[in-house]
Amino acid sequence: MLVCIPEVLSKSDVAEFRRIMDAAEWEDGRATAGAQSAMVKRNEQLPADGEVARALGQRIVSALTKNPRFLSAAIPLQIFPPLFNRYAASGGHHFGIHVDNAVRGDPLTGLRIRTDLSITLFLAEPEEYDGGELVIEDTYGSHEVKLPAGDAVLYPSSSLHMVTPVTRGARVASFFWMQSMIRDAHVRSMIFDLDNVIQGLAGRLGRDDPETVRLTGIYHNLIRHWAEV
């Protein structure tokens, strides 16, 4: 399941993030890559344990956990501290085809999560750079994603994916992972679809409509049955 989440950050938030990030020190992106990923990863990152990444990351998590679409799609249990990367044409930056590590650990907090879902939050407008598409492989083929600044895409961490070479400008983004309360991706997708149907009915018939209330009860009972907390 690939889900786009618009306007996680406002344009003014993005501009503030970029001012702070542009003034920060960057490092080789392979610092946080696994053995296989390091062979195909060429980019820069803000130091994962640095004050800038931690402060901006907390703001992203705060925004996401207030976003109904994100909560409905991810049903998050644990969210890994966001990381930040930059792909510059001048460096020939790209990230070849890879799969994310199954488990991620944060040395500062001791947090360890199973990576069920990956997220990329775009912090550069599409017209700022050429190339840099996030390409995600699934059972239905390849999907190219290049969203407006402030928008995010959520996708299974088990997917093969890549970032195409940037040939002009710079692609700036935040990326991170989360463990869902619903481990089974197929079940999580069906629950998300059900929630969308409920929200549509609530908009047309009202939340106190008997059928809407009944479906809402089914929704919560399914989560109660499948959730791992």
93-117: per-residue pLDDT in tens? 999 999 999 999 999 899 999 999 9
Whole-number percent of the chain with pLDDT over 90: 90
Q: What is the pTM of this model?
A: 0.93
Same domain, yes or no: 142 and 190:
no
Contact 137, 161 (CB under 8 A): yes
Q: At what angle do helices 185-205 and 210-226 cross, to 10 degrees?
A: 160
CA atoms of 79 and 118, how far apart (whole Å): 10
Q: How many CA atoms lie within 13 A of 93 on its CB side?
A: 24
Q: Backbone phi, then psi, for 57, in 5-degree steps?
A: -60, -40
The answer to whether the beta carbons of residues 78 and 179 sit under 8 Å apart is yes
Tell whether the model's pLDDT for residue 36 goes beyond 90: no
Q: How many CA atoms lie within 13 A of 1 on its CB side?
A: 18
Same domain as 133, residue 160: yes
Same-domain check for residues 8 and 101: yes
pLDDT digits (tens, 9 = 90+) for 174-198: 999 999 999 999 999 999 999 999 9
What domain count does the chain have? 2
Q: Using an 8 Å Cβ cutoff, are 52 and 19 in contact? A: no
Sign, CA dihedral 183-136-102-177, equals negative
Cβ(126)–Cβ(59) below 8 Å: no
Range of the domain at 19: 3-180
Instruction: Compute the average pLDDT of residues 200-213.
Output: 94
Structure tokens at 72: 């409905």
Q: Are 173 and 202 found together in one domain?
A: no
Mean pLDDT, the chain, integer:
94
Do 78 and 39 lie in one domain? The reply is: yes
Residue 116 shares a structural domain with residue 63? yes
Strand pairing report for 141-145 and 134-138:
antiparallel
| Rounded (10°) angle between helices 11-22 and 51-64 | 170
Q: Encoding tokens for residue 183?
A: 């481990």
- How many C-beta atoms lie closer than 10 Å to residue 146's C-beta? 18
- 94: phi then psi, degrees, rounded to nearest 5: -165, 175
Nearest by Cα to 121 from 27, 1, 6, 43: 6
Please report the pLDDT score of residue 50 as a whole number.
Answer: 95
| 113 in the same domain as 134 | yes
Q: Assess whether 10 and 122 both reside in one domain.
A: yes
Is residue 213 located within the same domain as residue 172?
no
Contact (Cβ atoms closer than 8 angstroms) between residue 130 and residue 193 = no
